[in-house]
């Protein structure tokens, strides 16, 4: 893929932060871990990765705004452009030594995501997209959503909210309706990779409630550019701001969406 200067900046930043995270992942037992709520941990590795990303991205584009999971929001002198960054999506996996986590970098322009990079550093898979240029895996592999049309052959993914989340009951009810009519439901614990996997045709659809913009910004454009349908769970919601996400391949999307929406409160 022939990317723009901005996409190349994002890829370089993701690779640099990825090297730091891979090193820390090998020593995960020695990391000092702080808690910011049940099931949601912050590690030193996470903060170090965000610092690397912030330095790389803001040095290259000092006038852009910034929204990072760990450091929050910093407005830029250019109010139309903003980096939206999750330095370590899948933190719980990382802390448990499960190699399924990613760096997620989205670039927003005038309220719309125009470029995204999701880097699975443990597997060396760089998912990327720019508006109008398609979605790619590691430069040379064009991504397309699956061509499946039968629910019974399709695999879906979601995130199960952790204990105490108000979305847990609705998600459990979704499982009860969806599981009997499809080939399986996966819960792998990194929303950015769930979206990238829909783009790659590995999953046929994905839904989740209550996500943050840093979980979804990059993955949403990758999924869209690979041909996925991307909608809020309820009419009138904004996917990026409200975080209620329904994504899937066109051949099963309507059937899948109907099942999730039939009983969804949110
Ligand atoms: C979480 C993961 C998980 C999703 C949660 C997110 P984190 O992000 O993406 O898959 O279910 O809603 O908060 O905490 O690992 O960066
Ligand atoms: Ca996240």
Q: What CATH number did the domain enclosing 83 receive?
A: 3.30.540.10
**Interval between CA 125 and ligand 1 midpoint (Å):** 19
Interval 3-25: pLDDT, tens: 899 999 999 999 999 999 998 88
User: Is residue 266 one of the residues assigned to a domain?
Assistant: no
pLDDT one-digit tens code per residue, 86-111: 999 999 898 888 899 999 999 999 99
86 lines ligand 1 (CB under 6 A): yes
Pocket lining: 195 vs ligand 1, CB cutoff 6 Å: no
Helix, strand, or coil (residue 86): strand
Q: Are residues 133 and 16 in the same domain?
A: yes
Question: Are both 187 and 225 inside the same structural domain?
Answer: yes
Domain count of the fold of the chain: 2
Question: In the structure, how many helices (H) and strands (E) does the chain have?
Answer: 8, 15
Clarify whether residues 102 and 212 are in a common domain. Answer: no
Q: Check whether residue 192 and residue 134 sit in a common domain.
A: no
pLDDT tier, 39 (very low <50, low <70, confident <90, very high otherwise)? very low
Alpha helices, DSSP H, located in the chain: 5-26, 44-60, 91-95, 168-178, 191-199, 213-225, 239-242, 250-263
Are residues 134 and 155 part of one domain? Answer: no
Interaxial angle between packed helices 168-178 and 250-263, expressed in degrees from 0 to 180 and rounded to the nearest 10 = 130
- Is there a single domain that holds both residue 164 and residue 137? no
Could you tell me the distance, in angstroms and rounded to a whole number, from the CA of residue 162 to the centre of ligand 1? Answer: 9
- Shortest-distance ligand to the CA of residue 40: 1
In this predicted structure, what is the pLDDT of residue 140? 86
Domain end among 122, 142, 162: 142
Q: Is 13 exposed, middle or buried (0-12, 13-18, 19+ CB in 10 A)?
A: buried
Q: Domain check: are 112 and 171 in the same one?
A: no
Nearest CA to ligand 1 atom 13: 211
Q: 171 and 74 in one domain?
A: no
In this predicted structure, the answer to whether residue 249 has a pLDDT above a threshold of 60 is: yes
Q: Tell me if 50 CB under 6 Å of ligand 1.
A: no
Round to whole Å and give the CA distance between 2 and 259: 39
The three-state secondary structure class of 243 is coil
Co-location of 129 and 193 in the same domain: no
Q: Tell how far the Cα of 189 is from the centroid of ligand 1, in angstroms.
A: 6
Query: Of 119, 142, 165, which one is at a domain's C-terminal end?
Result: 142
Residues 180 and 205 placed together within one structural domain of the fold: yes
State the Cα–Cα distance between residues 71 and 49, nearest whole angstrom. Answer: 11
Q: Is 219 in the pocket of ligand 1 (CB under 6 A)?
A: no
DSSP bridge pairs for 35: 41
Q: What residue's CA is closest to ligand 1, atom 12?
A: 211
Q: Where among 142, 177, 194 does a domain terminate?
A: 142
Q: Does residue 156 carry a pLDDT above 90?
A: yes
Given pLDDT bands bounded at 50, 70 and 90, which one contains residue 113? very high
| 135 in the same domain as 30 | yes
For residue 135, the enclosing domain spans 5-142
Q: Which atom of ligand 1 is nearest to the CA of 69?
A: 16
The CATH number linked to 167 is 3.40.190.80
Rounded distance, CA 66 to CA 261, Å? 33
Domain shared by 102 and 18, yes or no = yes
- Report how far residue 163's alpha carbon sits from residue 78's, in angstroms, rounded to the nearest whole number: 39
Phi-psi region of 143 (alpha: psi -120 to 50; beta: other; left: phi over 0): beta
Total residues belonging to the chain: 266
What pLDDT does 158 receive?
97
CA–centroid distance, 150 to ligand 2, in Å, is 31
Name beta bridge partners: 119. 103, 126
What is the residue with the minimal CA distance to atom 2 of ligand 1? 190
- Whole-angstrom CA distances from 213 to 60, 104, 172 are 22, 10, 23
Mean pLDDT over all residues of the chain? 91
Ligand nearest to the CA of 208: 1
- In-domain check, residue 218: yes
């Amino acid at each position: 893929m022939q990317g723009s200067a901005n996409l190349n900046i994002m890829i370089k930043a993701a690779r640099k932060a990825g090297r730091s995270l891979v090193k820390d992942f090998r020593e995960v037992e020695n990391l000092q871990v702080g808690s910011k709520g049940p099931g949601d941990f912050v590690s030193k590795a996470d903060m170090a990765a965000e610092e690397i990303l912030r330095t790389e991205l803001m040095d290259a584009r000092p006038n852009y705004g910034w929204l990072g999971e760990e450091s929050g929001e910093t407005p830029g002198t250019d109010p139309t452009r903003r980096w939206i960054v999750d330095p370590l999506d899948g933190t719980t996996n990382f802390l448990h030594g499960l190699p399924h986590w990613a760096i997620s970098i989205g670039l927003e322009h005038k309220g719309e995501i125009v470029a995204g990079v999701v880097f699975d550093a443990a597997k060396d898979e760089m998912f990327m997209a720019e508006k109008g240029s398609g979605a790619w895996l590691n430069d040379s592999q064009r991504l397309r959503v699956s061509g499946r049309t039968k629910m019974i052959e399709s695999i879906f993914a979601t995130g199960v909210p952790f204990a105490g989340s108000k979305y847990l009951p609705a998600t459990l009810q979704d499982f009860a309706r969806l599981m009997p009519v499809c080939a399986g439901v996966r819960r792998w614990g990194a929303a950015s990779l769930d979206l990238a996997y829909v783009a790659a045709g590995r999953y046929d659809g994905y839904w989740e409630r209550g996500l943050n913009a840093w979980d979804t910004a990059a993955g949403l454009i990758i999924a869209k550019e690979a041909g996925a349908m991307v909608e809020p769970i309820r009419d009138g919601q904004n996917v990026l701001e409200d975080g209620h996400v329904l994504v899937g391949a066109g051949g099963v999307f309507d059937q899948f969406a109907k099942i999730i929406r039939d009983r969804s409160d949110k």
